[in-house]
Amino acid sequence: MKTLRLLILPCILIYLFAFKKEENLGQQLAKCLQNELYSQLDSSALDSVFVKTLDSLSFKLVNSKSLKKYYKDAGYSPNFILKFYENKELDSLTNYLNNSVIHGFNPKIFSVGEIKSLIEKLKLNNFKKVGDTYPTIAKLDILCADAYINYINYLKFGTVNPRKVIQDYYISIKQPDSLFIPGLLNSENITDTLRGVQNTSKQYTALQTEYLKCKNDSLRKMLAVNMERLRWRLPEMNSTSYVQVNIPDFKLVYFNNQDTLTSMKVCVGEQKDRDYEEKMKIYNKTGDFEDRPSNHETPILVSNINSLYTNPVWNIPESIAKTEVYDAVRKNRYYLKKSNIKVYYKDELMDPMEIRWWKYDRDKLPFTFVQESGLKNSLGKLKFAFPNRFSVYLHDTNYKNGFKLKNRAISHGCIRVEKPLKLAELLVSDQEKYNKMRIEVGYKPLDSAYMSLYENKVKAIAKSSDDYKLKTMRFVPKQETPILITYFTAWYQNNKIEYRSDVYGLDEKLWVAMKKFR
């Protein structure tokens, strides 16, 4: 009999445990908020208040659609209160929201004042009837959820999608995916997430520190927009070495991890016409080429340098052919010959002296123009190519005086580099290739083993006629090297913040787009 009782007792315990009644929502809230009043809670009534509150707050909720789905799926349970009120994590949330000024945000965008007031209301527990608590519970939970999502989103991805604001921004920055919001709403520890999303990079924290110290409104504005740029998540690079061109700084830097291998001046595309957008509207209506505004700004992009060319030819873009080349040849019929530019009609070489240029309107010009390699070539002796849809590349130049200018936004969009040979040497990372490249562009090799090759080249040129045609040769870098064409007007360098002029006016555009966040 005793044995039987011993066998039955565990079964009874298992049965009772399996069918133990779970705490209902009212009991959970009573325990969480330390007030037995909530044990009288009417779940259907709270559901109704949640629905009405979500609708009434729709105008101010950034994530209204996602939150409506979340709360419906969760049976309108105030999960943020249940999970994060008693353990003080909601207080931690309000502290982070309140301190968002360090990122250049206005805490009001997160409704932090209202959230704090609602939390205080719950703490006072001055409700007479359980029904009086429903609006407070619903509003607090919804506002906390929305603020939490927004705060994490803004720090992790930025407040503004640059591709929607800046015309010539062509980097595909990472954006939140479909799992981002549900993942946040189902967080079990929001304090860890809030702490983990803080940008701790040297660049970002330096701008933050200066932003908080700075009293100059113009500089604070520059710091704020550049912190925003640092929040954008660029594509990951598959190499520790990369080339970065910063347009406002007019400079190229070749990095290996955090080490600078070389740095040089560059000339970038000139600023587009003032009131470009308005002028484009007029051009789109008239279709008259004379109304077309100029835009030679260098695009902001990411790519990989995959080819180097010695003695390149220049396939002159249509936009330049119809403007500068057309005007020059109309004024001086010898311009093309002096500039070593060939003219083609449907791939057939033409004699420019026999073309009656006055017969052709610039917008219906049927010819293509190619500048042959040589001393007069605008691309100089070296060209560095990388895939992009704008036919933009790095290149040498026959106009070296451009590097003496303070404002070096003077090109048609491509990037002229001050020290092309140094850049080539780092990219090929092969002394045999590099010595052959030097020979091809007319420089002595560094290795004496290649001196005879160089001397033969010099003799061949000396014996030839004046129009000796230099040969274009393609070289491949040791590995495809990422290139980032960026736009920063403030950054940390050598223990101080460097500032540069907003050469394309992009700071102002970004500042306007960030208006509702500051």
Q: Which residue has the tokens 């690079």?
A: 237
The token duo for 157 is: 């991805």
- Integer Cα distance of 399 and 396 in angstroms: 9
From the list 32, 103, 144, 395, the catalytic residue is 395
Task: Pick left, alpha or beta for residue 442 (phi over 0 → left; psi -120 to 50 → alpha; otherwise beta).
Answer: left
Query: Cβ contacts of residue 144 below 8 Å, gap of 6+?
Result: 80, 81, 84, 90, 93, 115
Known active-site residue 144: no
* Buried/exposed 230-245: b ≥16 CB within 10 Å, e otherwise: bbbeeeeeeeebbbbb
* Buried/exposed 154-175: b ≥16 CB within 10 Å, e otherwise: bbbbbbbebeeebbbbbbebee
DSSP class of 169: B
Closest Cα to residue 207, out of 498, 484, 506, 485?
Answer: 498
Query: Cβ contacts of residue 478 below 8 Å, gap of 6+?
Result: 427, 428, 429, 430
- Integer Cα distance of 52 and 154 in angstroms: 28
Known active-site residue 395: yes
| Burial degree of 126 (CB within 10 A; 0-12, 13-18, 19+) | exposed
The token duo for 21 is: 């009644």
User: For residues 220 and 214, is the Cβ–Cβ distance under 8 A?
Assistant: yes
From the list 32, 144, 267, 414, the catalytic residue is 414
Catalytic residue ranges: 395, 414
